[in-house]
Amino acid sequence: MRTILTVATAIMFTGAAGTAIAAPTQKAGAVLSDASGAQKATATLTQMRKGIRLVVDATGLPAGVHGVHLHTVGQCAAPDFASAGGHWNPTHKMHGKDNPMGEHMGDLPNITIGADGVGHLDTMIPNAMLSGGEMPLLDADGAAVVIHATADDYKTDPSGNSGGRIACGVLAAR
Ligand SMILES: [Cu+2]
Protein backbone atom coordinates (compact mmCIF):
# COMPACT_ATOMS: atom_id res chain seq x y z
CA MET A 1 0.00 0.00 0.00
CA ARG A 2 2.74 2.42 0.90
CA THR A 3 4.40 1.82 -2.48
CA ILE A 4 1.17 2.49 -4.37
CA LEU A 5 0.57 5.70 -2.47
CA THR A 6 4.11 6.87 -3.13
CA VAL A 7 3.77 6.25 -6.87
CA ALA A 8 0.42 8.02 -6.98
CA THR A 9 1.90 11.00 -5.18
CA ALA A 10 4.79 11.12 -7.64
CA ILE A 11 2.42 11.09 -10.62
CA MET A 12 0.29 13.83 -9.11
CA PHE A 13 3.36 15.92 -8.44
CA THR A 14 4.59 15.56 -12.02
CA GLY A 15 1.14 16.50 -13.28
CA ALA A 16 1.03 19.57 -11.10
CA ALA A 17 4.41 20.65 -12.46
CA GLY A 18 2.79 20.66 -15.89
CA THR A 19 5.60 19.01 -17.77
CA ALA A 20 5.20 15.27 -18.17
CA ILE A 21 1.42 14.74 -18.17
CA ALA A 22 -0.99 16.37 -20.60
CA ALA A 23 -4.54 16.81 -19.35
CA PRO A 24 -6.83 14.22 -20.90
CA THR A 25 -9.12 15.47 -23.66
CA GLN A 26 -12.68 15.69 -22.35
CA LYS A 27 -14.45 16.93 -25.47
CA ALA A 28 -13.97 16.84 -29.22
CA GLY A 29 -16.04 17.93 -32.15
CA ALA A 30 -16.33 17.97 -35.91
CA VAL A 31 -18.23 19.90 -38.56
CA LEU A 32 -19.22 17.56 -41.37
CA SER A 33 -19.41 18.89 -44.91
CA ASP A 34 -20.46 17.34 -48.18
CA ALA A 35 -18.33 17.13 -51.32
CA SER A 36 -19.20 20.73 -52.25
CA GLY A 37 -18.06 21.99 -48.85
CA ALA A 38 -21.59 22.71 -47.58
CA GLN A 39 -22.02 22.06 -43.86
CA LYS A 40 -24.33 19.10 -43.23
CA ALA A 41 -23.85 17.99 -39.64
CA THR A 42 -22.02 18.50 -36.39
CA ALA A 43 -20.60 15.83 -34.12
CA THR A 44 -19.83 16.27 -30.43
CA LEU A 45 -17.82 13.69 -28.51
CA THR A 46 -17.62 13.74 -24.73
CA GLN A 47 -15.36 11.58 -22.59
CA MET A 48 -17.43 9.74 -20.01
CA ARG A 49 -16.24 7.35 -17.34
CA LYS A 50 -17.24 4.26 -19.39
CA GLY A 51 -16.50 5.47 -22.89
CA ILE A 52 -17.16 8.22 -25.38
CA ARG A 53 -20.61 9.71 -25.85
CA LEU A 54 -21.17 10.78 -29.45
CA VAL A 55 -23.95 13.11 -30.61
CA VAL A 56 -24.54 13.90 -34.27
CA ASP A 57 -26.96 16.56 -35.47
CA ALA A 58 -27.58 16.68 -39.20
CA THR A 59 -29.41 19.14 -41.40
CA GLY A 60 -29.91 19.09 -45.15
CA LEU A 61 -29.03 15.44 -45.75
CA PRO A 62 -31.05 13.16 -48.02
CA ALA A 63 -33.99 11.53 -46.23
CA GLY A 64 -33.46 7.92 -45.25
CA VAL A 65 -31.16 5.75 -43.15
CA HIS A 66 -27.43 6.37 -43.34
CA GLY A 67 -24.37 4.65 -41.94
CA VAL A 68 -22.21 6.72 -39.56
CA HIS A 69 -18.71 5.77 -38.48
CA LEU A 70 -15.56 7.06 -36.87
CA HIS A 71 -12.83 6.77 -39.48
CA THR A 72 -9.21 6.40 -38.57
CA VAL A 73 -7.56 9.40 -40.27
CA GLY A 74 -8.42 13.03 -39.61
CA GLN A 75 -8.49 14.07 -43.27
CA CYS A 76 -11.60 14.87 -45.32
CA ALA A 77 -10.52 15.48 -48.92
CA ALA A 78 -13.50 15.92 -51.25
CA PRO A 79 -15.13 14.53 -53.26
CA ASP A 80 -14.92 10.93 -52.03
CA PHE A 81 -13.37 11.44 -48.58
CA ALA A 82 -11.25 8.31 -49.10
CA SER A 83 -8.52 10.21 -47.24
CA ALA A 84 -10.33 9.47 -43.97
CA GLY A 85 -9.21 5.84 -44.31
CA GLY A 86 -11.10 2.86 -42.95
CA HIS A 87 -13.05 2.60 -39.75
CA TRP A 88 -11.34 3.27 -36.44
CA ASN A 89 -10.41 -0.30 -35.48
CA PRO A 90 -7.71 -0.43 -32.80
CA THR A 91 -8.87 -3.88 -31.62
CA HIS A 92 -8.48 -5.43 -35.12
CA LYS A 93 -12.01 -6.73 -35.50
CA MET A 94 -14.19 -7.05 -38.57
CA HIS A 95 -17.09 -4.73 -39.32
CA GLY A 96 -20.42 -4.69 -37.60
CA LYS A 97 -22.16 -5.61 -34.37
CA ASP A 98 -23.98 -8.46 -36.18
CA ASN A 99 -20.71 -9.87 -37.54
CA PRO A 100 -19.38 -12.73 -35.37
CA MET A 101 -15.90 -11.26 -35.83
CA GLY A 102 -17.03 -7.71 -35.10
CA GLU A 103 -17.11 -4.97 -34.35
CA HIS A 104 -14.90 -1.96 -35.08
CA MET A 105 -14.74 0.57 -32.28
CA GLY A 106 -15.68 3.15 -34.91
CA ASP A 107 -18.90 1.34 -35.83
CA LEU A 108 -21.97 3.35 -34.83
CA PRO A 109 -25.74 3.03 -35.16
CA ASN A 110 -27.31 4.35 -38.34
CA ILE A 111 -28.76 7.85 -38.37
CA THR A 112 -32.29 8.37 -39.70
CA ILE A 113 -32.83 11.56 -41.69
CA GLY A 114 -36.39 12.83 -41.97
CA ALA A 115 -38.13 14.36 -44.96
CA ASP A 116 -36.97 17.75 -43.63
CA GLY A 117 -33.34 16.65 -43.90
CA VAL A 118 -32.86 16.65 -40.14
CA GLY A 119 -31.50 13.77 -38.10
CA HIS A 120 -30.12 13.15 -34.62
CA LEU A 121 -27.94 10.38 -33.22
CA ASP A 122 -26.92 9.98 -29.58
CA THR A 123 -24.84 6.92 -28.74
CA MET A 124 -22.06 5.56 -26.54
CA ILE A 125 -18.80 3.92 -27.59
CA PRO A 126 -17.90 1.68 -24.63
CA ASN A 127 -14.31 1.67 -23.38
CA ALA A 128 -13.23 4.33 -25.87
CA MET A 129 -10.87 7.15 -24.96
CA LEU A 130 -10.47 10.47 -26.74
CA SER A 131 -6.87 10.70 -25.57
CA GLY A 132 -4.44 8.74 -23.46
CA GLY A 133 -4.52 5.03 -22.83
CA GLU A 134 -3.40 2.40 -25.31
CA MET A 135 -5.77 3.26 -28.15
CA PRO A 136 -6.73 6.93 -28.12
CA LEU A 137 -9.16 8.05 -30.83
CA LEU A 138 -7.25 11.31 -31.29
CA ASP A 139 -3.90 9.71 -32.08
CA ALA A 140 -1.12 11.14 -34.25
CA ASP A 141 -3.14 11.06 -37.49
CA GLY A 142 -6.39 12.11 -35.83
CA ALA A 143 -9.84 10.80 -36.72
CA ALA A 144 -12.92 11.76 -38.73
CA VAL A 145 -16.69 11.33 -38.57
CA VAL A 146 -18.23 10.10 -41.83
CA ILE A 147 -21.85 9.75 -42.95
CA HIS A 148 -22.56 7.33 -45.81
CA ALA A 149 -25.07 7.31 -48.66
CA THR A 150 -27.05 4.30 -47.47
CA ALA A 151 -27.73 2.24 -44.35
CA ASP A 152 -25.06 0.17 -42.62
CA ASP A 153 -26.17 -3.50 -42.51
CA TYR A 154 -24.02 -3.96 -39.36
CA LYS A 155 -22.26 -7.05 -40.73
CA THR A 156 -20.66 -6.70 -44.17
CA ASP A 157 -16.92 -6.09 -43.87
CA PRO A 158 -15.41 -3.52 -44.12
CA SER A 159 -18.11 -0.84 -44.03
CA GLY A 160 -21.56 -2.41 -43.78
CA ASN A 161 -22.31 -2.00 -47.48
CA SER A 162 -23.23 1.60 -46.70
CA GLY A 163 -22.22 3.12 -50.03
CA GLY A 164 -20.25 6.27 -50.70
CA ARG A 165 -19.19 8.85 -48.16
CA ILE A 166 -21.52 11.87 -48.40
CA ALA A 167 -20.31 13.96 -45.47
CA CYS A 168 -17.06 14.08 -43.53
CA GLY A 169 -15.65 16.10 -40.63
CA VAL A 170 -12.23 16.11 -38.98
CA LEU A 171 -12.33 15.72 -35.21
CA ALA A 172 -10.59 18.28 -33.08
CA ALA A 173 -10.23 18.55 -29.31
CA ARG A 174 -12.38 21.26 -27.75
CU1 LIG B 1 -17.72 4.77 -42.71
**Phi and psi at residue 156, to the nearest 5°:** -80, 120
**pLDDT tens by residue, 100-158:** 999 999 999 999 999 999 999 999 999 999 999 899 999 999 999 999 999 999 999 99
Residue 146 belongs to some domain of the structure: yes
126 strand-pairing partners? 51
Least confident residue range of 16-25, 71-80, 140-149? 16-25
Q: Which residue range forms the structural domain that includes residue 125?
A: 24-173
In 10 A of CB 139, how many CB atoms? 14
Residue 88's CATH number: 2.60.40.200
The Å distance, Cα 69 to ligand 1 centre, comes to: 4
Q: Count the Cβ atoms, other than its own, within 10 Å of residue 30.
A: 26
User: H or E element: which one contains 16?
Assistant: helix 2-17
Show which residues are catalytic.
69, 71, 87, 95, 104, 107, 148, 165
Share of the chain above pLDDT 70, in %: 87
**Structural domain count of the chain:** 1
The model's pTM: 0.87
